[in-house]
Amino acid sequence: MKKYLFLSVLIWCCSVEIAWAAPLVLDDYVNQVVFPDIMVLEDTSGKLRFADVLLEAHQDRFKPVSRGVHNLGHTRSTWWIRFEIEQHGTTQRILLLEAQNDYTINVFAIPLAKPAEVMVLPRVKGLMNPVYALDLSANQTQQVYVQITSYFSPLSFRLSIAPQEYTAVDNVFQVALLMLAMGGILALAAYNLFLYVGFRESSYLWLVAFIITLCSELALLNGTLYWLVYSEEWYQRLIVLPSLLTIVTALGFFRQLMHTPQLVPLLDKSIIVSIGIGLLLIVLSPVLPITSAWVAGLGIFILIMAVTTTIQVAQRGYRLARSFIYALLVLILSTLPVILMGLGIIANEFYALYFIHFGFLGFVLLLSQTQIEHTRGLREDSERAIAASQAKTEFLATMSHELRTPMNAVVGLGTLLRMTPLNTEQRDYLGKLEVSSRYMMRLIDDILDFSRIEQRGLVVASEPFSLHALLDDVAQLLQNQAQRKGITFECYTLFTEGTWVRGDATRLSQILLNLVGNAIKFTEQGRVTLAVTEQASQTVDTLSLLFEVADTGQGISVEQLKKLFQPFVQGEGNSPKSGGFGLGLVISQRLVEAMGGTLQVESKVGEGSRFYFTLHFAKAADNTANTVGLTPPAPAATPALSDNSSKRILLVDDDELNRFVASHLLTTMGLHVTLASDGQEALDRVETQGEQPFDLVLMDVSMPGVDGYAATRQLRAMGYQFPIIALTAHAVEGERERCEAAGMNDFFTKPFELHELEQMVSKWVMNKERG
């Protein structure tokens, strides 16, 4: 290298006299000097070596530039800078280039007193800008050549000479200010990460990622990244990543903060495309000649799109849009110097770094505040949704209770009417009335089931039952319904005869009754089939079954399939004739999911539908005593009057019509009935009986004044030991336990059939059971 430089100097010394700009004279009292004049040479090929530059032909190509700050814009050329320094003092100096760290820079010095001693000046470590130590002796003149090449940023620089001590102090102050800003930004990243741990809101992660990439962009601008990498080759590879990653993470956070998929779906697609472009540029950055102009142009486009989107979102009434607009204004002002430098409009001025760093700190602070408001809004919306859902489910449960009370009278009056002499036409009318009342009860039960699912979720049982017995009962219940419509119903079972499993037989039967009942309802001709097929199981102790319900009915359109499992949405074929609240399929879907399966559907309009799901059951031992039966038990025979004439029943109910129905049903059983309209009257009746207490008290639980719970507790406190049975329309979980805690012996729900009332009375009075 020294031999090469020596030959270069000889060539230069042998050349003719060359015109130079006036040398810069340095005295000890001068603290810092900005060059007024330099000479520049553009090497468009980028192949000139230092020895080539010293040749006369290339020396003549140097042009004078009389500006302290030089901005050559985006250029792929290599530029050579030439100037001369004349040292009159003894102060040691450095050459400071206020320039980007991504430039490739080489500095050569030739002392005129010793032209053979060509020096390659080393870069001083630890300083933010490129700085090179000048080895100047008193009354010495040096000629300096600076070679600069830029591949990413515009070529912008300012040359100055400063004492070593002054620059070190100045650099510490500059670094301290910039690191203070970056430290504040990183502290906000840590703060938002802490909030994510507490709130589990994904937009916080996007914000944290954006803040970190923003810090990497600042590290690129202030030179920190250069010293972290400390490899010019890797630095050149990584220089494009911070900007592109900042754009991608900013757009990801912006989508979630502004809810663009819901509020502005068209603009949201543009945002997604922009994210895709950013990711593509990141992947292709090693092979594409990406410059800061690309990134600045993309950044300007993103800013315009963000402002446009925010304005549209604000017009739709989104409350955070105004706060975000303020943050965007701060961002625009902060990035303006970066964009102008990236476009080559202004030079690399150090004051711009302060502006950018503290502007970004303010921007991130505003973003964090906006994000907190966003999270607060989400929590408020969630609380409102939970409150609304709870109010809805409570309303449904209350409505179910209120409907059961009059339905008890309807069912009871139908039973009493059947006991009277009726002609054929009247019996036909009565039969239709009973069918309608049972269908109404099914709808009420659907509402109750839905409110249970929405409010408390589902708990499925795990008890042994016979699959064949369950399927036989389902087929028996639905066969008559299919025959009345003139369609064929078939049930196929393709698994081992007599199989017993553990599971929730009641819920499984409810699913099948819903699905097959719907299939029969919407099939006018053809057939409905229920097929249960054994599938391959993972273990020998497990039985996997595929349940399929297929029909040849009207089918379901594609649009209707999208909302098929939404509550209170009826199918296209639903009408007052077919009825329904649109809850059957929703409940079936939730039940299947609670049992570990997924309810799926396939359908074509005019060809029919197929609902299917797979469940896994644990095999169980044969237990015939617990065989599941879905068919209602036959009504018990009414006991002889002579056996019950001495039995006294106290019936407590605040509804006059229900008292009428229940008392007449009890009278038909030969029982002596005393009525009470509330809890206080019941207490008075028991007290007046004295030594002849009632054999049984049927106690309504929901009554004005003294309710059934309070009345029962007072009766037990009075020493009343005879049975008290809860008579309630509250068919909800936990009601039985609440009644037992009040001192009641059993639990009886409205509406009830005559045979159910007979069995209850027989259990506690005729057999003289006591609790």
In this structure, the answer to whether residues 620 and 688 fall within a common structural domain is: no
Let me know: does 120 contact 309? Beta carbons within 8 Å.
no
**pLDDT bucket at 457, cuts 50 / 70 / 90:** low
Domain that holds residue 325: 171-384
Question: What CATH number corresponds to the domain at position 758?
Answer: 3.40.50.2300
Spatial separation of the C-alpha atoms in residues 571 and 29, rounded to whole Å = 93
Looking at the DSSP bridge assignments, the partners of residue 698 are 651, 725
Question: How confident is the model at residue 429, as a pLDDT?
Answer: 81
Q: Indicate the DSSP class of residue 418.
A: H
Who has greater pLDDT, 622 or 642? 622
Looking at 368, 384, 400, which one is the last position of a domain? 384
Q: What is the mean pLDDT of residues 158-169?
A: 75
SS3 567: coil
Is the pLDDT at 437 greater than 80? The verdict is no
Is the pLDDT at 671 greater than 70? The verdict is yes
Crossing angle of helices 241-258 and 321-342, rounded to 10°: 160
In this structure, the answer to whether residues 267 and 193 fall within a common structural domain is: yes
Is the pLDDT at 544 greater than 80? The verdict is yes
Crossing angle of helices 708-717 and 735-742, rounded to 10°: 30
Query: What tens digit of pLDDT does each residue of 488-525 get?
Result: 898 888 877 667 888 888 788 888 888 988 888 888 88
Let me know: does 134 contact 142? Beta carbons within 8 Å.
yes
Question: How confident is the model at residue 249, as a pLDDT?
Answer: 93
Looking at 626, 654, 676, which one is the last position of a domain? 626
Question: How confident is the model at residue 407, as a pLDDT?
Answer: 79
In this structure, the answer to whether residues 613 and 658 fall within a common structural domain is: no
CB atoms within 10 A of CB 121: 19
Q: What is the mean pLDDT of residues 462-472?
A: 87
Question: How confident is the model at residue 576, as a pLDDT?
Answer: 37
Looking at the DSSP bridge assignments, the partners of residue 673 are 649
**pLDDT bucket at 575, cuts 50 / 70 / 90:** very low
Crossing angle of helices 202-222 and 241-258, rounded to 10°: 150
Who has greater pLDDT, 660 or 98? 660
What's the CA angle centered on 553, arms 547 and 558, to 5 degrees? Answer: 85
**pLDDT bucket at 573, cuts 50 / 70 / 90:** very low
In this structure, the answer to whether residues 334 and 220 fall within a common structural domain is: yes
CB atoms within 10 A of CB 677: 17
In this structure, the answer to whether residues 140 and 249 fall within a common structural domain is: no
Is the pLDDT at 115 greater than 90? The verdict is no
**pLDDT bucket at 14, cuts 50 / 70 / 90:** very low
Give the amino acid at 662.
Answer: A
**pLDDT bucket at 645, cuts 50 / 70 / 90:** low
Task: Report the candidate in 506, 594, 598, 609 with the shortest Cα–Cα distance to residue 551.
Answer: 609
**pLDDT bucket at 549, cuts 50 / 70 / 90:** very high
Residue 710 lies in a domain: yes
Q: List phi, psi (to 5°) of 603.
A: -155, 150
Is the pLDDT at 8 greater than 50? The verdict is no
Spatial separation of the C-alpha atoms in residues 663 and 667, rounded to whole Å = 6
Helix (H) / strand (E) containing 351: helix 350-418
Query: What tens digit of pLDDT does each residue of 741-758 get?
Result: 999 998 888 778 788 888
Question: How confident is the model at residue 731, as a pLDDT?
Answer: 64
Helix (H) / strand (E) containing 367: helix 350-418
Question: How confident is the model at residue 473, as a pLDDT?
Answer: 82
Pair of tokens at residue 496:
């081992």
Can you list the positions of beta strands (E) in 99-187? Answer: 104-111, 119-120, 131-134, 140-149, 155-163
Residue 68 lies in a domain: yes
Who has greater pLDDT, 172 or 718? 718
Question: How confident is the model at residue 542, as a pLDDT?
Answer: 86
Who has greater pLDDT, 168 or 538? 538
In this structure, the answer to whether residues 621 and 659 fall within a common structural domain is: no
Is the pLDDT at 17 greater than 70? The verdict is no
Question: How confident is the model at residue 453, as a pLDDT?
Answer: 66
Spatial separation of the C-alpha atoms in residues 14 and 406, rounded to whole Å = 120
Question: How confident is the model at residue 233, as a pLDDT?
Answer: 72
Let me know: does 21 contact 38? Beta carbons within 8 Å.
yes
SS3 254: helix
Residue 428 lies in a domain: no
Residue 445 lies in a domain: no
Which stretch of 219-223, 325-329, 461-465, 552-556 has the lowest confidence by average pLDDT?
Answer: 219-223
Query: What tens digit of pLDDT does each residue of 349-387 get?
Result: 667 778 888 988 999 999 898 888 888 887 887 788 777
In this structure, the answer to whether residues 321 and 349 fall within a common structural domain is: yes
Rank 373-387, 433-447, 641-655 by mean pLDDT and report only the highest.
373-387
Q: How do 131-134 and 93-97 pair as beta strands?
A: antiparallel
Spatial separation of the C-alpha atoms in residues 573 and 565, rounded to whole Å = 15
**pLDDT bucket at 579, cuts 50 / 70 / 90:** very low
Let me know: does 38 contact 159? Beta carbons within 8 Å.
yes
Q: Tokens 């090693």, residue?
A: 286
In this structure, the answer to whether residues 234 and 356 fall within a common structural domain is: yes
Q: Indicate the DSSP class of residue 70.
A: E
Predicted model pTM: 0.54
Who has greater pLDDT, 146 or 401? 146
Pair of tokens at residue 571:
């199918």
Who has greater pLDDT, 571 or 248? 248
Looking at the DSSP bridge assignments, the partners of residue 614 are 546
Let me know: does 489 contact 612? Beta carbons within 8 Å.
no
List Cβ neighbours of 309 (8 Å cut-off, separation of 6 or more): 254, 258, 260, 264, 267, 271
List Cβ neighbours of 94 (8 Å cut-off, separation of 6 or more): 124, 131, 132, 133, 134, 161, 162, 163, 164, 167
Query: What tens digit of pLDDT does each residue of 275-290 get?
Result: 998 899 888 887 787 7
Is the pLDDT at 624 greater than 90? The verdict is no
Task: State whether the Cα torsion 725-729-733-738 is positive or negative.
Answer: negative
Who has greater pLDDT, 569 or 421? 421
List Cβ neighbours of 447 (8 Å cut-off, separation of 6 or more): 396, 399, 400, 403, 581, 583
Looking at 150, 184, 202, which one is the last position of a domain? 150
Is the pLDDT at 611 greater than 90? The verdict is yes
Who has greater pLDDT, 553 or 538? 553
In this structure, the answer to whether residues 515 and 471 fall within a common structural domain is: yes
Residue 589 lies in a domain: yes
Question: How confident is the model at residue 29, as a pLDDT?
Answer: 66
Q: Indicate the DSSP class of residue 632.
A: P
Question: What CATH number corresponds to the domain at position 369?
Answer: 1.20.1070
Question: How confident is the model at residue 190, as a pLDDT?
Answer: 92
Question: How confident is the model at residue 12, as a pLDDT?
Answer: 44
Question: How confident is the model at residue 463, as a pLDDT?
Answer: 86
Q: Indicate the DSSP class of residue 625.
A: G
In this structure, the answer to whether residues 101 and 133 fall within a common structural domain is: yes
Query: What tens digit of pLDDT does each residue of 217-235 get?
Result: 888 777 777 777 766 677 7
Q: Tokens 């001709």, residue?
A: 525
The 3-state secondary structure of 28-52 reads CCCCCEECCCEEEEEECCCCCCHHH
Question: How confident is the model at residue 652, as a pLDDT?
Answer: 92
List Cβ neighbours of 257 (8 Å cut-off, separation of 6 or more): 203, 320, 324, 370, 371, 374
Task: Report the candidate in 330, 312, 342, 313 with the shortest Cα–Cα distance to residue 368.
Answer: 330
Query: What tens digit of pLDDT does each residue of 470-490 get?
Result: 888 888 878 877 888 889 898
Let me know: does 56 contact 18? Beta carbons within 8 Å.
yes
Residue 771 lies in a domain: no
Which stretch of 253-267, 447-461, 552-566 has the lowest confidence by average pLDDT?
Answer: 447-461
Residue 201 lies in a domain: yes
Spatial separation of the C-alpha atoms in residues 144 and 162, rounded to whole Å = 15
Mean pLDDT, the chain, rounded, equals 79
Q: What is the mean pLDDT of residues 238-249?
A: 87
Question: What CATH number corresponds to the domain at position 68?
Answer: 2.60.40
In this structure, the answer to whether residues 673 and 573 fall within a common structural domain is: no
Is the pLDDT at 638 greater than 60? The verdict is no
Q: What is the mean pLDDT of residues 93-121?
A: 83
**pLDDT bucket at 211, cuts 50 / 70 / 90:** very high
Q: What is the mean pLDDT of residues 410-415?
A: 81
Q: What is the mean pLDDT of residues 407-416?
A: 80
Residue 419 lies in a domain: no
Annotate 365-387 with b (16+ C-beta within 10 A) or e (fewer): ebbbebbeebbeeeeeeeeeeee
What count of residues does the chain have? 771
**pLDDT bucket at 9, cuts 50 / 70 / 90:** very low
Dump the DSSP string for 282-323.
HHHTTTS---HHHHHHHHHHHHHHHHHHHHHHHHTT-TTHHH
Peptide bond into 751 cis (omega under 30): yes
Tell me what percent of the residues of the chain surpass a pLDDT of 70. 82
In this structure, the answer to whether residues 581 and 647 fall within a common structural domain is: no
- Residue 141 CB burial class (10 angstroms; 0-12, 13-18, ≥19): middle
Q: What is the mean pLDDT of residues 416-441?
A: 79
CA distance between the termini of the chain: 110
Annotate 735-768 with b (16+ C-beta within 10 A) or e (fewer): bbebbeebbbbbbbbbbbbbbbbbbbbbbbbbee
Q: How many domains does the chain have?
A: 4
The 3-state secondary structure of 191-244 reads HHHHHHHHHCCHHHHHHHHHHHHHHHHHHHHHCHHHHHHCCHHHHHHHCCHHHH
Q: Indicate the DSSP class of residue 703.
A: -
Q: What is the mean pLDDT of residues 68-78?
A: 76
